Chain A
Amino acid sequence: MKKLLLATAFAALGTGAALADPVRIATEGAYEPYNFIDDKGELAGFEIVLGNELCKRAELECVWVKNDWDSIIPNLQSGNYDAIMAGMSITPERREKIAFSENYTQPSPSAYAALSPDTPTDSGVIAAQVGTIQAAHVAASGAQLLEFATPDETIAAVRNGQAVAVMADKDYLLSVVGDGLDIVGEDVLLGEGIGIGLRQSDTELKGKFDAAIQSMKADGTLNALITEWFQEEGIPF
């Protein structure tokens, strides 16, 4: 009898483990060095390494999903995946729709890049990726906002003269400057840092990710990762 009970207990445990669904994390795969597709065709970048480590610490099984930036929030709400790690800054507007974990980067400096060093940043046509904090900032700054679906197109727009400057995260701009394109003007601090986007009802998952981020902040591994991926541009905690 005892054996039978034990066996059923094990069986129950077994099915319990099998039913623990993997956490699906969505990313864009087009925002170097946060997330991009490497030459092997696989996802790589700061957030991929960080996400895998967070899942290990939170004892979650995680799967990465590539999703278009435009539909990344609706698909989270629709339950097609459970979390977003796509360089998404925490903003009050986004907080109305989804919840965020604790931030895993400092409020990152945004910057302008242009082909000539004396380009004004408060007038003329300025490119930014649609739905980003930089796009909101440009729209409020008095310059004319020209939006594009991907970060790469915003750079191309400056190079071919559609826009006089582009505004984006400084980390991203630093990875694409060169060939005449350079940072202009002052850095602007926007947002509250980047966090993991979660459904507002998923408080349990948020708790697990928050704890994992805190533990990585406490033992210095997060800072080490930031230095590894952003070199001297990274701002440690």
Chain B
Amino acid sequence: MFEFCAEPKTLEGLAWLSCYLTTPKHMEFYFSFLTVLSLLAVAAPAALAFGFGGAMAARSHHAPVRWFGNIYTAMVRGVPDIVFFLFFVIALDQGIEWLTHQIRCPDWTQPIRQGLEFRVCPAAKVPPNNASHFAHQVYAFALAVLTFAIVFGAFAANVLKGAMDAVPRAQIETAEAYGMTQGQAFRRILVPQMWTYALPGLSNLWLILIKATPLLFLLGIQDIVYWARELGASKSARFDYPHPDWRLWYFLGLLIFYLLLTRLSEIVLARLSRRFSHGQATRAGEKMRRAAA
């Protein structure tokens, strides 16, 4: 990074530290913070969408749709996260490859399962074997987002279903009395009012999601925990910057990062909560009305 870093073994003190903290390896560590933040940025709306779909399905008037919604939430919520992340991702990956295999290689005669091995034709590999490293990383990241969305979507579905059921029946009845259709009443009356009931549950989920990001490493993505462990491990004289076991310092850094992130979320969530309570017939809404009056 800096010019004086050419001979790391001769450096001392601050100069050594400034060179050490700017090695390309540390740059990958800093970049992994972006990976985690972008995972959160993509996975949270995706999980909310899955949750919304699941909640609507679970409240549907059509029995098969309702069963689907209930089975989804019951199954995913019942399986431990770590099992889900280990098993589901390999199964999903193999499922995708099995499908592309059926489409692209209909004449393939060898069995796909050979004992312990899973072999599809080369054209069915996702991503293809000759794809760039970047493509493999993007694919792994997309699988991770999908897995996070499915797992957290199931929890969100239950929270949203509870919130939808909590909106007073009288509100919907009034909407119907004004001649709104079911869809209109759902969009205009139910959904805007349910957020105040959903927010506490959703904010719990968000904080759990933040803390669950180290599971990324199980999915083959080098996240901040992986790099903290790798960089903090003691380094022998073979390396340019030998040092003893410094994992404590790296993990302290992660602790601060996670605390800042959760604190920031709490501030934003508190604001959202005030906004959603406005004009609601709830304790918080009533308090705001009195304060204004």
Q: Which residues of A contact B (CB under 8 A)?
A: 18-19, 21-22, 24, 29-30, 32-33, 37-42, 63, 65-68, 71, 74-75, 77-80, 82, 97, 150, 152, 155-156, 159, 175-176, 179, 199-201
Contact = CB atoms under 8 A, between A and B. Distances in A.
Given A37-B230, A155-B234, A175-B236, A79 B130 contact: no
B24 A79 contact: no
A82 B117 CA distance: 12
B133 A176 contact: no
Contact of B234 (A24, A39, A176): A176
A21 B234 contact: no
A164 B120 CA distance: 47
Which 8 pairs of residues, A with B, have the shortest CB-CB distance? Answer: A21-B129, A41-B25, A152-B233, A39-B240, A41-B24, A40-B24, A41-B28, A39-B23
Nearest to A73: B116
Contacts of A65: 136
Interface of B: 8, 23-25, 27-28, 86, 90, 93-94, 97, 114-120, 122, 125, 128-130, 133, 136, 217-218, 220, 222, 229-230, 233-234, 236, 238-241, 244-245, 247
A158 to B, nearest CB: 11
A69 to B, nearest CB: 12
B236 A66 contact: no
A-side interface mostly = loop
Contacts of A97: 116
Contacts of B120: 79
Contacts of A156: 245, 247
A66 B219 CA distance: 12
B114 A74 contact: no
14 contacts: A18-B130, A21-B129, A21-B130, A22-B130, A33-B238, A39-B8, A42-B24, A68-B218, A71-B220, A78-B90, A79-B97, A79-B120, A155-B245, A179-B244
